Amino acid sequence: MILEKIYIEEAKRIRKVYLTNLASIVEKEDEIQLYVKELENIKNEVNDNDSNGDDYYIKKLLDMNDNIEKIKSLLIPNHEKINGLDEAQKILYNRIKEKHPTITDDEMQDLIVPHIVQIDDDFRKRNQNLYKKIMEKENN
């Protein structure tokens, strides 16, 4: 059985978008860790200084909120795109099943995976270090 090119191209597009967004998250990881570390520092300051007034605690809460917002602004756009791919995968799966009702999931996988592997190979060649980090994240 051969899958129509439109289905293969959509599967490839989904994988490209996934890798691109995951790569963006991984690239921002060091920056995110700085904000996380700052949150930890604020928490420790508050725990170590119980004699400060309300203004001190309000300022520290605002600092924490700022750091949380910075982390969210770095992660949410890519995370939302990745979540949107889940819906795109379901739509692709359903379209293939409608067009080829007798195809099994294993057969579908056998027809699509070689094209996805090529996307991964191309991405890995262009971004070796980043790809290594992505695969570590993907496997966790």
pLDDT per residue over 11-44, tens digit each? 999 999 998 888 888 888 878 888 888 888 888 8
- Number of Cβ within a 10 Å radius of residue 22: 21
User: What's 49's DSSP letter?
Assistant: -
| Residue 8 pLDDT > 90 | yes
The helix/strand/coil state of 28 is coil
The helix/strand/coil state of 69 is helix
Read off the pLDDT of residues 56-104 as tens digits, 9 standing for 90 and up.
Answer: 778 878 888 888 888 888 889 998 999 999 999 999 999 999 999 999 9
Cα 120 to its chain centre, rounded Å, is: 15
Q: Which pLDDT does position 51 carry in this prediction?
A: 67
Residues 6+ apart with CB under 8 A from 95: 7
Q: Which pLDDT does position 50 carry in this prediction?
A: 65
